[in-house]
């Protein structure tokens, strides 16, 4: 089981956008540069985040991206599902209905116990991500930043943020 | 995020092996037939389960597979990790250390807050699967089997189980 690397990119981009002053935006090129990742690959994720109502895209030469909601109202689960899709990781194809014991549909009224247990585990995973807001993550990152990183980030934000 | 379909196959195979009498085995061809899946694809998973110490492979013309441990001592997590590998779904590539704020290693002594939160969620998922034993799943399946499926399974087991 593996998440795409773009989940990491998008989560980090969200924390950068959460640090912007009200009304300010960052262009995709700056978000890509900040993380040293490919802008063309990142654009796909930025569009997915905008489609999911998590990022807002402001067009034009002074445009860019900002959060579409307050960071308190965006959970890690919102971001992960926007990038990876909402389907559960375990996809039940109902193989219990195949082979030599295949029976009439009425024989399978109860959910497959394997399917139910796998979904139960995914629910725990989703609940953990849903209970963690982007604002909480940015607070934790803020507390852990060294003076050196903080100073470099301030210079970079001043040069790249669009009001 | 998506698990391979072979996780479903292997979990179902494990429940079939858990239903065997002591000392009995089922050949790979029978396990594949029971679920109407490809034997050659299934063999790869059966080997992974054997390598993980969950299934035992008995060689020879009367050979086949059985559980290597009691079903109480095998968790869903054991099986999922044997098939999918033990790496976390979210792989942190430390992109916080890249780009214009890149700093000396001492600036990153704290674990990345995003990495920590993603691992926390995976821990919840793993804990749920670890707390569900194969014996519990086979009990649940047993309770939900219709008389029709149960009768067909008995005929099939009688024809295929090797003592």
What's this model's pTM, rounded to 2 decimal places?
0.95
Domain ranges of chain A: 5-87+134-160
pLDDT band at A143 (very low <50, low <70, confident <90, very high): very high
Average pLDDT in chain A: 96
Q: What is the ipTM of this complex?
A: 0.96
CATH of domain B5-87+134-160: 1.10.10.10
Helix (H) or strand (E) holding B150: helix B147-160
Say how far residue B63 (Cα) sits from the centre of its chain.
Answer: 22
Residue B2 confidence (pLDDT) above 90: no
Helix (H) or strand (E) holding B9: helix B5-18
Beta strand extents in A1-152 (DSSP E only): 55-58, 64-67
pLDDT for A2 equals 87
Residue A38 touches partner B, C-beta closer than 8 Å: no
Instruction: Give me the helices (H) in A5-38, please.
Output: 5-18, 28-35
Taking an 8 Å cut-off on Cβ atoms, the answer to whether A3 and B1 are in contact is yes
- Cβ–Cβ under 8 Å, residues A80 and A113: no
Q: Which residues is A64 bridged to in the sheet?
A: A58
A29 touches B at CB < 8 Å: no
Distance CA B50, CA A118 (A): 22
Distance from CA of B20 to the nearest CA of A (A): 16
Q: Which chain B residue is nearest to residue A106, measuring alpha carbons?
A: B146
The minimum CA-CA distance between B159 and chain A, rounded to whole Å, is 11
Q: Give the model confidence (pLDDT) of B47-83 as tens digits.
A: 999 999 999 999 999 999 999 999 999 999 999 999 9
Helix, strand and coil content of chain B, in percent to the nearest 5, comes to 60, 10, 30
Contacts of residue B142, Cβ cutoff 8 Å, sequence gap at least 6:
none
Q: Do residue A36 and residue B107 have CB atoms under 8 angstroms apart?
A: no
Average pLDDT estimate for A76-92: 96
CB contact under 8 A, B84 and A128: no
Nearest-CA neighbor of B117 among A76, A85, A13? A76
A125 and B CB contact within 8 Å? yes
Neighbours of A91 (CB within 10 A): 14
| B121 pLDDT more than 90 | yes
């Amino acid at each position: 089981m593996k998440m795409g690397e773009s989940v990491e990119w998008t989560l980090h981009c969200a924390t950068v956008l959460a640090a912007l002053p009200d009304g300010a935006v960052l262009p995709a090129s700056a978000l890509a540069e900040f993380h040293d990742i490919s802008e063309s690959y990142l654009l796909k994720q930025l569009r997915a985040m905008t489609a999911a109502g998590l990022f807002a895209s402001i067009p034009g030469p002074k445009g860019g991206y900002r959060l579409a909601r307050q960071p308190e109202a965006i959970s890690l689960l919102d971001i992960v599902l926007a990038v990876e899709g909402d389907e559960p990781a375990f996809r039940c194809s109902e193989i219990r209905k195949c082979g030599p014991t295949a029976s009439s549909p009425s024989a399978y009224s109860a959910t497959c116990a394997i399917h139910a247990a796998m979904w139960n585990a995914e629910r725990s995973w989703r609940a953990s991500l849903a209970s963690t807001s982007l604002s909480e993550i940015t607070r934790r990152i803020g507390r852990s930043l060294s003076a050196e990183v903080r100073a470099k980030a301030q210079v970079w934000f001043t040069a790249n943020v669009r009001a």
